[in-house]
Structure 1
Amino acid sequence: MRAAVLERFGAPLTLLDRAAPELGLGEVLVDVVATGVLPYADEVFSGERRYALTLPVVPGLGAVGRVRATGPDATHLAVGDAVLVDPTIRSRDGGPTPDITLQGWSGRGPGGLALQRRWGDGSFAEQLRAPTENAIPLGLLADDELDLWCALVVCLVPYGGLRAGALQPGETVLVSGATGNYGSGAVAVALAMGARTVVCPGRNTAVLDDLVRRFGDRVRPVVLTGEEDVDRAAMQAAAPGPVDLVLDLLPPEAPATVARAAAMTVREYGRVVLMGGVGMLGGDDLALPYPWIMRNSVTVRGQWMYLPDEARRLVELVHAGLLDLSQWAVTGFPLEQVNDAVAHAAADGGRFSLTVVRPSAS
């Protein structure tokens, strides 16, 4: 099969002929129809993000495609079924604290790197091997409908955060980082889950205006000034009532003051979920005040990715008509142009702009 390979950080991806992956017990082989390219993929491949990847590797985070083969322990999947391949792979012997690797993208700790020995290669290839439980059925879909379903790989991250924050219908959510790739997806997902209002702070007024155009007055934009106290007051004033839940999805380059201003808008007994990258590449810590957390009975929790069953739940939100994937505009590239796809995603990706690679169309 053909695959795009990252041989060393800082080098372009190389298109190579590789042996097709061999099917093992508890695994599924998928013919990749489309795979999304995240806007910061170039930062991962350059080494700037310092992601833990065992090189050489076929990168690529998640995919949609068709089942090529299954093992003898699969009883529901059939050859030809359309599936979403969930890239979050968990060790099966870890109990409540499994090791995790993001297939073709990054590992968490030594255990995550150990999982890469079997499931390191990702989706920039004609075929993809994954644990059977990571192949999520999508229903009766034609190949030309599958591109849009790559948006679920982006939506799954904020969905996991909103579920971790126990979002209830009718509540007010503040998405810190709402103008980014994951943040704009969070706005769509929060509304699909029944949020009354989503407060959307950001500096880019054009993107904020676009969020209002897409979703109407359930979105409350706030233009940030960089003054922490001023911004906090503006975010609280934009909400129709107390802020029940804050979801932080700010990127690594964002200052901690922006994340703190957003987090401290939450009401007494409110919840704050941290999923972004603040401080990952250096810089100040979040430094939320102990007395504020304690006296206001605020719950602050981190959330990396999402729980195993949440990919299936998100698929059902789409089928129910609550999450509209047509919000995303798709630009597709064949596998031969994978480096062009990475450059396009960096320049034009994110914020409902989906860059995909189509290995089977090459």
Structure 2
Amino acid sequence: MKAAVVTEFGAPLTVQDIPTPVPGPQQVLVKIQTCGVCHTDIHAAQGDWPAKPTVPFVPGHEGIGIIEGVGSQVSEDRIGERVAIAWLGSACGECDYCVSGWETLCEKQENSGYSIDGAYAEYAVADSRYVTRVPDGISSFDAAPLTCAGVTTYKAVKVGGVVPAQRVAIFGVGGLGHMAVQYARIAGGFVIAVDIEDEKLELARELGADHTVNSMTTDPVEAIRALGGADVAIVLAVIPSVFDQAFRSLRRGGRLVCVSMPAHGVLPIPIFEAVVGGISVLGSIVGTRKDLREVFELHEAGRTKVSAVSRKLDEVNECFDDLLGGRVTARQVFEF
């Protein structure tokens, strides 16, 4: 099968013919139809984070495809089912986190396209218990970005505790941000979208953002404070200084939700302002299988739109360059 492989951190990926994987007892073999391109895939390929993947590996955690084979402990009835392979490849299912609905915090979890091979390939194996069925009313093209960009920002809005009439500042309107705008609106928030690209801000307006701020020409802190300050600020940009801007844009009692993870990023918190202002700083890491089902339900009901462009697997390195260069308005999706 054809797959894009990371053979060395920081080096271009190579598209190779490698053996088709064989499903283990509790796994399924999925013929991949689409797979979205996430900035996390670039972090993985560059070895940016302290816990690094083991090379060689196949990235990809927004995989959508059809189950073509099953392991010995999986019912053959599942053959033909269309499923999503998400970041959470598996978890222990027994720890406090797993049994309390926080499986994404499980310390024994495996992550698709990171600690286990992902969906930048014509076939992938996945844990049958952790793939999510894709409803018939959603195209495989749309389902791919929803599997990470969608569920990640949906969870961030939940973690931020957004309630109707609160102001929600979204820092970074791209593959994740254009979904965050929509989920914040669904929760009843008034949305302020912040980015450095006018094209992305126009997309945010089309998706219902109430205000937009180009932080290249306008101080976003001053602009947001002029509106009364943000109740919730969700950071999706990978520039460390943006986290400070988001923190300073909050009104008293505000919540800063950190989602993106810049390489070597550090967030200095002014303790006095945090205490006196009653500010909360929260981390939000993707979403659970239940969250993903809810994301799919909302999309099938017509509540959200996906903005993406089609790419081919052979263009993987160009895709990474375009994403890093800011030439992608929202999401890129490999179609097989």
TM-score by length of 1: 0.78
2:212 to 221, 224, 233: 221
Does the CA contact (< 8 Å) of 1:39 and 1:349 recur in 2? no
Hey, what's the Cα distance between the residues in 2 that align with 1:138 and 1:20?
A: 23
Hey, what's the Cα distance between the residues in 2 that align with 1:49 and 1:23?
A: 29
Cα distance change, pair 250–332 in 1 and its aligned pair in 2 (3 A): closer
Q: What corresponds to 2:264 in structure 1? A: 281
Q: What corresponds to 1:351 in structure 2? A: 329
Hey, what's the Cα distance between the residues in 1 that align with 2:96 and 2:334?
A: 35
Deviation per CA, 1:161-184: give whole Å up to 9, x if none.
11111222443211122x343223
Shift of 1:317: 1.2
Q: What corresponds to 1:265 in structure 2? A: 249
Cα distance change, pair 9–196 in 1 and its aligned pair in 2 (3 A): closer
Hey, what's the Cα distance between the residues in 1 that align with 2:183 and 2:210?
A: 12
2:214 is equivalent to residue 235 of structure 1: no
> Identity of counterpart residues, as a percentage?
23
2:320 is equivalent to residue 331 of structure 1: no
Does the CA contact (< 8 Å) of 1:35 and 1:356 recur in 2? yes
Does the CA contact (< 8 Å) of 1:70 and 1:77 recur in 2? no
Shift of 1:337: 4.5
Aligned pairs, number: 326
For structure 2, which runs of at least 5 residues remain unmatched after alignment?
Answer: 98-104
Q: Which moved more, 1:42-51 or 1:163-172?
A: 42-51
Q: What corresponds to 1:139 in structure 2? A: 135
Q: What corresponds to 2:124 in structure 1? A: 128
2:157 is equivalent to residue 157 of structure 1: no
Hey, what's the Cα distance between the residues in 1 that align with 2:16 and 2:194?
A: 44
2:92 is equivalent to residue 84 of structure 1: no
Q: What corresponds to 1:112 in structure 2? A: none
Q: CA RMSD in A?
A: 2.9
For structure 1, which runs of at least 5 residues remain unmatched after alignment?
Answer: 106-115
Hey, what's the Cα distance between the residues in 2 that align with 1:137 and 1:172?
A: 34
TM-score by length of 2: 0.84
Q: What corresponds to 1:55 in structure 2? A: 55
Secondary structure of 1:195's match? Answer: coil
Q: What corresponds to 1:244 in structure 2? A: 231
Q: What corresponds to 1:102 in structure 2? A: 111
Hey, what's the Cα distance between the residues in 2 that align with 1:194 and 1:164?
A: 12
Secondary structure of 2:129's match? Answer: helix
Secondary structure of 1:201's match? Answer: strand
Cα distance change, pair 320–43 in 1 and its aligned pair in 2 (3 A): same
Cα distance change, pair 215–146 in 1 and its aligned pair in 2 (3 A): same
Does the CA contact (< 8 Å) of 1:156 and 1:306 recur in 2? yes
Runs of 4+ deviating beyond 6 Å: none
- Structure 2 counterpart of 1:329, one-letter code: A
Shift of 1:203: 2.9
Hey, what's the Cα distance between the residues in 2 that align with 1:182 and 1:204?
A: 15
- Structure 2 counterpart of 1:330, one-letter code: V
Hey, what's the Cα distance between the residues in 1 that align with 2:329 and 2:285?
A: 21
- Structure 1 counterpart of 2:159, one-letter code: A
Deviation per CA, 1:49-104: give whole Å up to 9, x if none.
67711111122222011112334655696221222111223431543251234311
Shift of 1:324: 1.8
Shift of 1:121: 0.8
Cα distance change, pair 51–356 in 1 and its aligned pair in 2 (3 A): farther
- Structure 2 counterpart of 1:171, one-letter code: Q
- Structure 2 counterpart of 1:236, one-letter code: R
Hey, what's the Cα distance between the residues in 2 that align with 1:75 and 1:169?
A: 44
Does the CA contact (< 8 Å) of 1:88 and 1:102 recur in 2? yes
Deviation per CA, 1:92-143: give whole Å up to 9, x if none.
15432512343113xxxxxxxxxx3xxx11111111111123211112269x
Shift of 1:338: 3.8
Shift of 1:156: 1.9
